[in-house]
Amino acid sequence: MDYLELVIVGILTSILVISLWQFSTVKKEIRIQTQQQTYAKIVEARLNLEKTETFTKMAKESRVFADRFSTVDNPDEYYMAVAFLDLFEFLHLMNKTKTIEPGLWLRWQELIKTMMTIPKFKKVWEKTKEVHMKDFVDFIDSP
């Protein structure tokens, strides 16, 4: 009878350990998803605020924004390029955290390379890349 009890305790302990490990994994995945959703909402809110006439008028008073706006024909082109760059950085982060399918990431990677051939897009990148994550900058600037 003692042997049977030891086996049962061992099995129950194993089940508990496996359950705790699974819980930890699920918790991590939920945290990553929550961060991604939050980041996406923040980027969207930022773009919606920046694209307003009021913000654009105020931004033109800044030497930094005036310099950035000078790379395009109008502020809307700048905002569009910045929105794409934010999207690409977000997708790059998803690739880094393995939360995007590799095949899908390859498709986005090709689009990123293609977008960087647009002169205005490239100019906006050169003016704004210092605000992006270093590994994303290295990725974009790599051949």
In-domain check, residue 1: no
pLDDT number for residue 40: 83
In-domain check, residue 76: yes
Collapse the DSSP code of 101 into the 3-class scheme (helix H, G, I; strand E, B; otherwise coil) and give the result: coil
Q: Which of the four pLDDT bands, split at 50, 70 and 90, describes residue 112? A: very high
In-domain check, residue 49: yes
Arithmetic mean of pLDDT, 23-32? 80
| Domain total in the chain | 1
> And the tokens for 64?
């930094």
pLDDT tens column, 118-135: 999 999 999 999 999 999
The residue type found at 116 is M
Q: Which of the four pLDDT bands, split at 50, 70 and 90, describes residue 12? A: confident
DSSP 35-64: HHHHHHHHHHHHHHHHTSHHHHHHHTTSHH
Sequence-ordered list of residues with C-beta below 8 angstroms from that of 108, at least 6 positions apart, any chain: 88, 91, 100
In-domain check, residue 54: yes
In-domain check, residue 100: yes
* Residue 137: domain span: 41-141
In-domain check, residue 26: no
In-domain check, residue 8: no
Per-residue pLDDT at 8 exceeds 80: no
Per-residue pLDDT at 104 exceeds 90: yes
Sequence-ordered list of residues with C-beta below 8 angstroms from that of 68, at least 6 positions apart, any chain: 78, 124, 127, 128
pLDDT number for residue 95: 94
The Cα-based distances of 116 to 1, 27, 36, 141 in angstroms read 72, 37, 24, 10
pLDDT tens column, 43-61: 889 889 998 999 999 999 9
